[in-house]
Structure 1
Amino acid sequence: MKFTSSLLAFALASVVSAHAADPIIVKLWPKGAEEPAGFKAEPEKSEKKQDGIERTSHVSDPTITVYRPEKPNGTAVLVCPGGGYNILASEHEGTMVCDFFVKKGVTAILLKYRVPRRDPQDPSKYPLQDAQRAMGIIRHRAAEWSINPERIGILGFSAGGHLTVMTTLHPNERTYTQDPALDKEDVTPNFSIPVYPAYLVTKEETFKLLPEIAVTKKSPPMCLIHAHDDKGATSASASALLYLEYKKLDLPAELHIYTKGGHGFGMKTKNEPVDQWLVRVGEWMTSMGWMGEKESTQK
């Protein structure tokens, strides 16, 4: 498939909805999420400051919002915004990404997971519960939402990229009480797209993956996006190292590291090649047969 200039412009800047119907909002924990002892919830709020970034904070009632395309191709992507596990960058790493996928016929599902951090020692614990539950609900309702249950992927940015990796590599290690009506025994994503994932390495050892970042022969295909000038705990070395773990096991993987882009670019326009990262993701998904156009790319 050839990506036209109009599609590229849409990927970079468009926020125009292409939904066939109103978005569907589903609570992940109808009876309330299990919280650590002593945790006190504050009212959720969303605000946009002078930097133009929309921030959603104090999430205690996590949800998924399902954006359905007019002509669904059967593929779905669970989108996980970043924000250091303290807030959610819910627009340029959330709704704008969903708009791109919906335009391509992919059902986009925005995850609003719990923030801020509940457990300083394991900041992804409760967000991971939310992602695991979300994957279960999506598989339960796949037919209703015109989704092929074998074509459900996950994409996330920064902390949401870390959450994407953890959901990919530890999908069935539950730390919550499961509900058969909402959870599935296996919620492994069918493909994974970490975008500048954080916390796979430490600030001190950027060339060594943390022990929990362990790839197995059952790990699903992965496409990694990063910028070379990203540093510290979000260093591009993390994505390179994770790609090499995939390569060692000869698992399907793709890696894009752009010279410039820094951290947190999401759907911002940088006027650099990194602006095309989502186009590259679309090409990868097409090559893997998840966009309904695999045959045409091989002619």
Structure 2
Amino acid sequence: MTLHRRSLLTAAGLGLTASPVLAQAPWSEAVRAAAVTPQRAPADPAETVRLWPDGAPGGENVTVVAEVNERSEDPAYHDRFAVYTTDPIMTVFRPERPNGAALLLIPGGGYRWAVVDKEGYDCARVFAAAGVTCFVLRYRLPGDNWAAGPNAPLQDAQRAMRLIRANAAQYGVDPDRIGALGASAGGHLGGTLAARHGDAVYEAVDAADAVSARPDLSILMYPVVTLTDPHTHAGSRSHLLGENPSPDQIRDWSLETMPRRDTPPTFIVHAMDDGAVPPENAMMLTTALRAANVPVETHLFEEGGHGFGIRLIEGRPAAVWPELALAWGARRGWLG
């Protein structure tokens, strides 16, 4: 685990923003510009990819109708969330100056819904400004009567990674430089993908399913990690496993029990004042990854709350997290 002194000083509110190394990074200025909330919400990308051309598996008893709802009344930004997704998609953000890196973004929503903007499109625009080709995942939810139950979101995450890697040439990305970013419950899904990328949770549907679903690195923002009390996020647990999960289910679906030696290097960001997903989640996963000899870097900020994404921490210490993540990825060869 790496706990950077700069992160802790920044969290202490000493007015520090970015290190000289970050300030000199070639992508730094573009990243900071992309993180500023505009006067009017930018247009959505037109390019989307259906994950399952013949329909998502196990939907025989699914009767829900997909919805995307808007919570924002401010024209400067969208704050949408998707519920009852039946046709999972990826929305593609192609950077002006691609550097060959790719990122699958898995937004949160407590497994009750999947947010679209805050941890999806907003983050994708910032990473695309650094040259990363981004894919925002809209995944199925476990409570919508899919035959796979809690594995339904993992089916979508695995399939998404395989489609990106199998079509890397089409997207102009390096198949060995594809990361995954998950936030909150999406961090639980991203962490599950990182640990269980090789588990056979669906039957192959085409040649893309022959390639690896393993992310080359994993970025987790305020992730739901444990499903055990007292540090779990109860809503995520109940929407994933039901109201009365067994002790075995709770253990098997807690990220701190999952790390394997082939789990990719992991970057974790969490705020110490997170009132929804306690920071002990990040600490537990950090300890488990270290025990499995998985490289991990963890940044704990004194303030930030939960679900801050990009927009909600403008001008605050934790606003530096995308640059920290990019600098970490650059050290690992992800940015080329």
TM-score (structure 1 length as normaliser): 0.86
- Aligned pairs for 1:76-115 (under 5 A) are 76-115=102-141
1:277 alignment counterpart? 321
2:293 alignment counterpart? 250
CA distance in 2, matches of 1:159, 1:119: 19
Distance 1:61 1:148, change over 3 A: same
Unpaired segments ≥5 residues, structure 2: 1-20, 233-249
* Aligned length, in residue pairs: 287
Q: Give the C-alpha shift of residue 115 in structure 1.
A: 3.2
Please say if 1:45 is aligned against 2:45: no
Contact 1:44 1:59 in 2 (8 A): yes
What does the per-residue CA deviation read over 1:15-51, in whole Å, with 9 as the maximum and x for residues that have no partner? 88799xx653111111111235532121433323459
Contact 1:33 1:61 in 2 (8 A): yes
Return the letter of the residue paired with 1:2. Answer: L
2:282 alignment counterpart? 239
1:178 alignment counterpart? 204
CA distance in 2, matches of 1:158, 1:247: 21
Contact 2:225 2:285 in 1 (8 A): no
1:8 alignment counterpart? 32
1:286 alignment counterpart? 330
CA distance in 2, matches of 1:71, 1:275: 23
Q: Give the C-alpha shift of residue 148 in structure 1.
A: 0.7
2:261 alignment counterpart? 217
Identity of aligned residues (%): 34
Q: Which has the higher contact order (CA 8 A, sep 6+)?
A: 2
Contact 2:142 2:152 in 1 (8 A): no
Contact 2:179 2:215 in 1 (8 A): yes
CA distance in 1, matches of 2:282, 2:251: 12
Please say if 1:230 is aligned against 2:284: no
Q: Give the C-alpha shift of residue 191 in structure 1.
A: 0.3
CA distance in 2, matches of 1:217, 1:199: 18
1:149 alignment counterpart? 175
TM-score (structure 2 length as normaliser): 0.77
2:52 alignment counterpart? 29
Distance 1:171 1:12, change over 3 A: farther
Distance 1:124 1:284, change over 3 A: farther
Unpaired segments ≥5 residues, structure 1: 293-299
Return the letter of the residue paired with 1:182. Answer: A
CA distance in 2, matches of 1:273, 1:205: 25
Q: Give the C-alpha shift of residue 91 in structure 1.
A: 0.7
Contact 1:81 1:89 in 2 (8 A): yes
